[in-house]
A = this chain, B = another copy of it.
Amino acid sequence: MTWQTYLETNQAEFTARLLDFLRIPSISSLPEHAHDVRVAGEWVMAQLRNAGMEHVEMMETGGHPVVYADWLHAPGKPTVMIYGHFDTQPVDPLDLWDSPPFEPVIKDGRVYARGASDDKGNMLAPVLALEALLKSEGGLPVNVKCFFEGQEEIGSPTLPGFVAANKAKFACDFVLSADGGQWDEDQPALLVGLKGLCALQIDVVGPAYDVHSGLYGGAIQNPIHALAAILASMRGADGRILVDGFYDDVVPLSDADRVEMARVPFDEDSVLRELQIDAFFGEPGYSTLERKWARPTLEVNGIWGGFQGEGVKTVLPSEAHAKITCRLVANQEPRKIAQLLKAHIERHTPPGVRVTVTVKDNGAMPYLMAGDHPGNLAARDVLVEEYGKEPFLARSGGSIPVTAMFLESLGAYTVSFGFGLNDERQHSPNEFFRLENFVRGQRAYCKLLHRLAAG
């Protein structure tokens, strides 16, 4: 039986397995779901064993675990490491979901669930490709290692030390990342750039308790107003970030980069319609795509303080809080940016409140790789065969912290080879994944491994 036939024969079964995977609420940012992340890892291990992979194990990282496996019986052939993650984002606001986030529903060829696209559907595809190749051909065309993690959605905080401590085990020519996507249903893309990440929380404390706004209003500092002033001070009315030194290490866009990006069609109107907003907004002097791909950003992810109930409560609150994440580009360094933000916040803290700034994780380094890397060239050939089109050389505003880690610790670049699409509401209510691309992913990985063997 060929791997093609194996995939066709087992597709219904594979879809059922994906639904099982999606039923595990493996939210890595919430302590109460830490066990579920582990359960998802064990589920992946069972898949790898069933596929015929060897040395399947759960490796402790000091945080959420990593699932490893390998098959290394192709002497003289390259060694690639397949990457993906089995943890998911939180689900709130829950009331905006049409169906429970961890009770997957299939509708019009799409499976709806938290993690369907980011990244469970995408990461399961290569696992099934390995199964198809091993069951149909008795082996793999190249040497393959698998590295599936459970902490991508929180910035992989414990992986840097873990990867550095296991260099020999994870040694490979390059990495194939199943955490990525294509341009749209008809247009492939090769991802050559990713943004880094830096996250922090601002806690503002004023009076020891909420006080009557008529009793002390106008006479003491209001923590919410203080926080608003701090946040407002970080960004100009034009969208430019005003934190001193924020842009210092940014690699400017070359004219060639800007020409390449300008060639990429980006339907602004359809995005405006989809998001139901009337205008884009961002740093002056750059196109929307350039802002998304090549410029650093600072976003407030959440804010809270004082009375949030119905009606009126005339209090001057005791506390106010905000969460911020910055998306970084080459060559910004997360720890340095966090320090710049801290310094800015301290300089802009008004009198009468105490402000604490907490850096939430180690952050993630930004990432850039060459379009003509051997892995990209092979991936390009498969994508052209699958889509009949030349892929765009794309970048992403998203972060995949391990890419920078793999480069730093293993000297291995990461080729993005995933099949999610940007409209699949990753991190939002009603996330979904196209089953058609689930199948395509399995097929494309089989083709890619064969092509890499051909060299």
Contact = CB atoms under 8 A, between A and B. Distances in A.
A292 B216 contact: yes
Contacts of A31: 310
A451 interface: no
A268 to B, nearest CB: 10
Given A92-B309, A219-B280, A312-B199, A428 B212 contact: yes
A314 interface: yes
Of residues A224, A307, A361, which shows the largest number of chain B Cβ atoms within 10 Å of its Cβ? A307
A215 B397 contact: yes
A337 to B, nearest CB: 14
A211 interface: yes
Nearest to A361: B312
A299 B308 CA distance: 14
A210 B312 contact: no
A375 interface: no
Interface stretch (A102-110, A169-177, A320-328, A406-414): A320-328
A214 to B, nearest CB: 4
Nearest to A306: B302
A300 interface: yes
Contact of A210 (B93, B321, B323): B93
A316 interface: yes
A342 interface: no
Interface in A201-225: 206-222, 224-225
A187 interface: no
A220 B303 contact: no
A277 B206 contact: yes
A321 B228 CA distance: 12
A222 B311 contact: no
A275 B232 contact: no
Given A210-B93, A277-B220, A281-B351, A301 B315 contact: yes
Contacts of A321: 308
Given A225-B300, A301-B316, A327-B213, A280 B220 contact: yes
A122 interface: no
A197 interface: yes
Interface in A334-357: 350-353
B309 A301 contact: no
Nearest to A226: B281
26 contacts: A29-B310, A29-B313, A89-B313, A195-B214, A214-B399, A215-B398, A215-B427, A216-B397, A217-B327, A217-B397, A218-B282, A218-B298, A220-B275, A224-B303, A227-B228, A229-B232, A232-B232, A277-B353, A299-B316, A301-B317, A302-B305, A303-B304, A303-B305, A304-B304, A312-B360, A314-B325
